[in-house]
Amino acid sequence: MDMVINGVTRGMRGEVRVPPDKSISHRAAILGALAEGVTTARPFLRSADCLSTLACLRSLGVELGLEGEALRVEGRGPGGWREPQGPLDAGNSATTMRLLAGALAAMPFRCEIRGDSSLSRRPMARIVEPLRDMGAEVEALGEGSRPPLVIRGGRLRGIDYEMPVDSAQLKSALLMAGLQAEGETRVRGGKASRDHTERMLALMEADISFQEDAVVVRRSSLRGREVAVPGDISSASFLLAAAALLPGSRLVLREVGLNPTRAGFLSVLNSMGALVMESSYRESANEPRGDLEVGSAVLSGVEVEGWRIPAMIDEVPLLAVLGCRAKGETVVRGAGELRVKESDRIAAMCAELARMGGRLEELEDGFVAYGPTPLKGARVDSHGDHRIAMSLAVAALCAEGETVISGWECVDISFPGFAELLRSIL
């Protein structure tokens, strides 16, 4: 499906709410299914990825249902899961596949998890090897340790594991396996990656502790809880960026998640010259949240690397758009993980923005964007990647003329109704 967007000269104005946080929605469903008692997540993100998680859990015998804006999970502990009748379908969702692999590692049955063509290209060795070390039988059937995954649960033992990359999905998989393992599971490193799993485990009364550079979990039972899900900061970032770029903007976003491990884009946007103001800060269900207000600004290039990358990994493609419109050079390094997302996000953004007149230099682990460069409407490709599609939509709003984005349907993976929301505030 194509999306047609015309460049605009007016700014964004209004007050809106973005969809519920995707990462927290996934975790509430899976941890609620491992818990004893009822877990309610409100509001729950009804995106394609999160619905894939629910479909997999139903196939595993978990009783759950969507009631209005809420998800209700009837948790019966790990013992309530049953062997599925066929392969589980994770769709496009690597979060579904990797987190479920950790949860399934101790189950007394065989399970296969498949995905679509995009997910089938994602690397899985990073979870296969440590789960094997814990005692599970895990095999990636695809070439180069890619999906599908076959898991035969076993008697698990805790391990002391040093994270090779800052991956919240890997960390979460090991913590979920550690809940069902003998002894303690210690995950060292990875502190820059998002910590929603640790926060929710603490909320659900897991035996979890935190050390200077490690998270330690021991065999424990979870208790079902009410999970208040904030707005997704990654989804909010596309609106914040567009408002900063379009003259005359004044936009307020209500109830956005402000978890420090996810809010790196806010500090980078401020460093570029935008003024993002936070208000009404509070915590609920162990997650910080608040309102954000942003207006149009003249932006300058920045350099982003090191520990700042994991805290804004989903927003790096968007930074390429900002870099094309900012004064000077915007340099991103240390983002090689973007090569193995739903698409090669580095190559995709450099190629598609070049079609619109952007000047970018592709690096092995990032890019350099040169600005300010006028952008012109063009036919561009989403590469089947929701983050690419929405980043190109922001570029299209700032471009002269008409832009046609192919493969627009992928936006439903994380932000259903994105186009309609844009129209409502322009």
Determine phi and psi for 201, rounding to 5 degrees.
-60, -40
Please report which helix (H) or strand (E) contains residue 57, including its range.
helix 48-59
In whole angstroms, how far apart are CA 149 and each of 156, 169, 334? Answer: 18, 15, 28
Return the SS3 of 263: coil
Strands 137-142 and 146-152: antiparallel
Q: Catalytic positions, please?
A: 314
From edge to edge, which strands make up the β-sheet containing 379-381? 3-6, 402-406, 379-381
Q: Tell me if 388 sits within 8 A of 353, measured CB to CB.
A: no
State how far the Cα of 146 lies from the Cα of 120, in Å rounded to an integer: 6
| Secondary-structure breakdown of the chain: helix, strand, coil percentages, each rounded to the nearest 5 | 35, 30, 35
Nearest by Cα to 14 from 243, 338, 323? 243
Return the SS3 of 396: helix
State how far the Cα of 288 lies from the Cα of 426, in Å rounded to an integer: 29
Nearest by Cα to 180 from 205, 143, 209, 155? 155
DSSP states of 281-346: EEEETTEEEEEEEEE----B--EE-GGGTGGGGGGHHHHHHHHHHSBEEEEE-S-GGGGGSSS-HH
If you count them, how many residues does the chain have? 426
